[in-house]
Amino acid sequence: MRREFWRQFDYWLLGSVLFLCVFGIVMIRSAIAGSPALSEHVTRQIIFVSLGFIVIMVMSIIDYHYWASLSRLMYIGSVIFLVVIFIVGAARFGSARWLDTGLILIQPSELAKIVIILVLADYFARRGGDESSIRWIVESFLLTFGIVVWILLQPNLSTSIVIFVLWFSLLWISGLPPRYLVIFAIGGMIVGLAAFPFLEEYQQLRIINFLFPDPNARHGNTYNVDQALVTIGSGGWFGQGYGHGTQVQLRFLKVRHTDFIFSAMAEEFGFVGTVFIISILIFIIFRCLRAGRLASDRYGALIAYGFATLIFFQAAVNIAVNLNLIPVTGLTLPFISYGGSSLLSLVLGIGLVESVVARQKKIEL
């Protein structure tokens, strides 16, 4: 049994993830150079990555079917955590998303992404897609909204959108009839327009500045995006070299170790370097999709497909923000940006995918 497990273990997936995590440490070190207030971030990220490797191995060894029996408990626990954050959470950058433990800041909304994948995978694996009834659509939406509502109240719009994307992707994979696509598209636009007046002021400004940018603005709400574009453009084909990016080292580019680390990477390693990193991200997504295709049951397949969706959407949004293709969000670049909670949720997902692919066939004693 043990020999069969390690024979089917996806070493290509593990190696690719570890490569990006180590590369992320290298990029964070360059991005925060000359910033004493951020000097401990590299050490912390090394600790996060080390713990992350352990998490991957532990999660892969545990049979993923075990989590189906804990779906209700995990769901209730996530809601309780999010309620606590809403009441006593530490406010940073205009929202209360973090729980200060005294040692590290925990962001439960990041872990909620993994919980919702497990909960919805279990629900859809048991209920399936009954085209004759919309009950399974409504019930799965209510399950999702039960978590999202507390994330919206933080406020954290970007993570809320991610979770709704996960819900819709798993709904589609589970057999959503194509005729519902038009209904969902129209409903999404109506909800988006109706919700705009209720957004926080800074969220409204991000959307307005994206749709109607001021060409004469040099500071204010468009500063970060403008500097990100300058940073990317200054990298050229092959970059200015590690630790030699002028925009990064002179600190014109802000939040360069989290939201805009892609721009820092583009300046130092150029177009060729960023394409190489994006290719590895695509390879990781492909390996997750492969795990879903090889899964021994519907539950395992939905876990793998859900996590592939998470990596793809989060990476695509982060890169699009850096390129000024969409309004600014708070989503980080998977495995590369600084952040303990974000990295923990990602490695948890990788461990789950490894558990699925390692049990693609029934192992006989």
Q: Is 219 in a helix, a strand, or coil?
A: coil
Is 284 within the bounds of a domain?
yes
Whether 104 has a pLDDT exceeding 80, the answer reads no
Is 56 within the bounds of a domain?
yes
Residue given tokens 């049994």 in the structure block = 1
Whether 213 and 222 have beta carbons less than 8 Å apart is answered as yes
Is 363 within the bounds of a domain?
no
Whether 363 has a pLDDT exceeding 70, the answer reads no
pLDDT tens figures, 129-177 = 555 568 888 889 999 999 998 888 877 888 899 999 999 999 999 888 8
What's the rounded Cα separation, in Å, for the pair 22 and 26? 6
Nearest-CA neighbor of 227 among 196, 259, 271?
Answer: 259
pLDDT tens figures, 4-29 = 777 888 999 999 999 999 999 999 99
More confident residue, 211 or 63: 63
Is 365 within the bounds of a domain?
no
Residue 221 pLDDT: 61
Report residue 341's pLDDT band, with 50, 70 and 90 as the boundaries: confident
DSSP-derived secondary structure for 292-354: HHH-SSHHHHHHHHHHHHHHHHHHHHHHHHHTTSS----PPPTTTSS-HHHHHHHHHHHHHHH
Report how far Cα 309 is from the mean position of its chain's Cα atoms.
9
Whether 97 has a pLDDT exceeding 70, the answer reads no
Rounded to an integer, the average pLDDT of 240-246 is 86
**Which of 65-79, 221-235, 323-337 is the least confident region?**
221-235
Q: Is 132 in a helix, a strand, or coil?
A: coil
Rounded to an integer, the average pLDDT of 356-360 is 89
Residue 315 pLDDT: 96
* Residue 260 amino acid letter: F
Residue 127 pLDDT: 78
What's the rounded Cα separation, in Å, for the pair 300 and 355? 9
pLDDT tens figures, 174-217 = 888 887 888 888 888 888 888 878 777 777 888 888 887 766 66
Integer Rg of the chain from CA: 21
More confident residue, 298 or 204: 298
Report residue 361's pLDDT band, with 50, 70 and 90 as the boundaries: low
Tell me the C-alpha to C-alpha distance, in Å, between residue 159 and each of 152, 319, 331. Answer: 8, 16, 7
Percent of the chain with pLDDT over 70: 89
Residue 218 pLDDT: 59
Rounded to an integer, the average pLDDT of 234-252 is 86
Over the chain, what is the mean pLDDT? 85
pLDDT tens figures, 279-292 = 999 999 999 999 99
Whether 32 and 41 have beta carbons less than 8 Å apart is answered as yes
Which pTM was predicted? Answer: 0.90
- Token couple for 88: 């006593």
Is 226 within the bounds of a domain?
yes
The alpha-helical segments, DSSP class H, found in the chain are 2-8, 11-31, 41-61, 71-88, 108-127, 135-152, 157-173, 180-195, 201-211, 223-235, 246-249, 261-294, 298-322, 340-358
Name residues whose C-beta falls within 8 Å of residue 365's C-beta, 6 or more positions apart in sequence.
1
* Domain span at 160: 2-358
Name residues whose C-beta falls within 8 Å of residue 91's C-beta, 6 or more positions apart in sequence.
none
The angle subtended at Cα 102 by Cα 97 and Cα 103, nearest 5°, is 95
Residue given tokens 């800041």 in the structure block = 105
Is 364 within the bounds of a domain?
no
Whether 115 and 75 have beta carbons less than 8 Å apart is answered as yes
Q: What is the count of structural domains for the chain?
A: 1
